[in-house]
Amino acid sequence: MAKTLRKAQTGAREQIKLAARRLFALRGIDGVSVREIVEASGQKNHGSLSYYFGTKEALVRELVADGAKLIDKRRNDFLDRLEASGGPSSVREAVEALVFPSIGLSGETRKEEDTYIRFIAMLAMNHRELFMDALEKRWNSGYLRCLDHLRRLMPDMPAAAKNQRFVFMGAYMSSVLSLREAALTDRSRPHPSWSSDDTLEHFMQTLTAMLEAPLEKGLFAEAAGPRRPRSIVGSIGMILD
C-alpha cells in the first residue's frame, strides 16, 4: 500500500513538472498561474503544487536544475569521448559538443515534447536573477570545457574578442534552438525547414563560421589583457554579460 502511494505521488509530481515546463515555455512564468499548472497536469487537488513544491518559484528552480544537470552530464560525456581520441581537434567538433547535448532532452526518460530550451530562454530574458540563482553557479563544467577548447582552436585574436563571440554564440544558440524546438513540437502544420535532417548541420556550420571568422583589422586594438565573461550560464550555453 505504502509503495503504491509513493509511486502515485511520484507520478503526480512529475506530471506537475511536465505541465509547468510546457506552459512556462509557451507563456513565461508570469503568464501562468498555479491553478492552470495543476489543471494542466490533471491533478484534482488544487493544492497539489503547494504540497509537492511549496511555491511556484520553488518549482521553477527545480525545473531549471533538472535540465541544467542533464545537459551538463551529456556535454561532459561528449567531451570525454572526444578527448579520449585526442579531440576536439577543430572548432566544429567543439561546437558539436555544445549543440548535441542541448537537444532531445525528453528522449532521455520519456516520450514527451521538448520544452526546456524555450523555458530557460524566456526565464533568462525576463527573470535573469532568478535564473542565475537557480543554477547556483553549478552544472556548467561541460560548457566551460567547451570554451577552453574553443579558445585554443579559434583564430588568433584578443581574449576580449573571443569572449564577445561567446556572448554572440550563446544568444544565437538560444534563439535558434528555441525556434527549432517550438517548430518540432507544433503539430498544426509542417515545418520542413526545421524538420530537415540538414538543419542542425547547417546551424552548426554557421555557428562555426561565426567563431572562425577573421577579426577585422582595428577591432579590439585597445583591448587589455585576458578577460572572461562575468556570468556564465551552463545550460544550453548562454552567457549573460
**Over the stretch 195-227, which tens digit does the pLDDT of each residue have?**
998 999 999 999 999 999 999 988 998 665 555
- Residue type present at position 121: A
> Residue 29: what pLDDT?
97
pLDDT level of residue 143 (50, 70, 90 thresholds) = very high
Percent of the chain with pLDDT over 90: 74
pTM value is 0.86
Query: Is the CB of residue 86 less than 8 Å from the CB of residue 200?
Result: no
Asked if 211 and 116 count as a contact pair (C-beta separation under 8 A), the reply is: no
Taking Cα atoms as reference points, which of 63, 51, 68 lies closest to residue 24? 63
pLDDT of residue 106: 76
How confident is residue 8, by pLDDT bands cut at 50, 70 and 90? very low
Region of poorest pLDDT, from 51-65, 153-167, 185-199, 226-240? 226-240
- Tell me the per-residue pLDDT of 82-136, one tens digit each, with 9 for 90 and over: 999 999 999 999 999 999 999 988 764 445 678 999 999 999 999 999 999 998 8
Per CATH, 1-54 and 56-241 having the same topology is answered no
**What's residue 2's pLDDT?**
44
Please determine, for residue 183, whether its predicted confidence score (pLDDT) is greater than 50: yes
For residues 85 and 98, give the distance between their C-alpha atoms in angstroms, rounded to a whole number. Answer: 18
Report the half-sphere exposure of 99 (CA within 13 A, side-chain side).
Answer: 26
Burial class (CB in 10 A: 0-12, 13-18, 19+), 107: exposed
CATH architecture of 56-241: Orthogonal Bundle (1.10)
pLDDT band at 137 (very low <50, low <70, confident <90, very high): confident
Residue 152 pLDDT:
97
Domain boundaries, the chain: 1-54, 56-241
pLDDT at 127: 95
Q: Which of 27-31, 93-97, 231-235 has the lowest average pLDDT?
A: 231-235
From the options 1.20.120, 2.60.40, 1.25.10, 1.10.10, give the CATH code of 1-54. 1.10.10
- The pLDDT of residue 4 is above 80: no
Cell of residue 138, nine digits: 553549478
Q: How large is the average pLDDT for residues 142-160?
A: 96
pLDDT score of 213 = 97
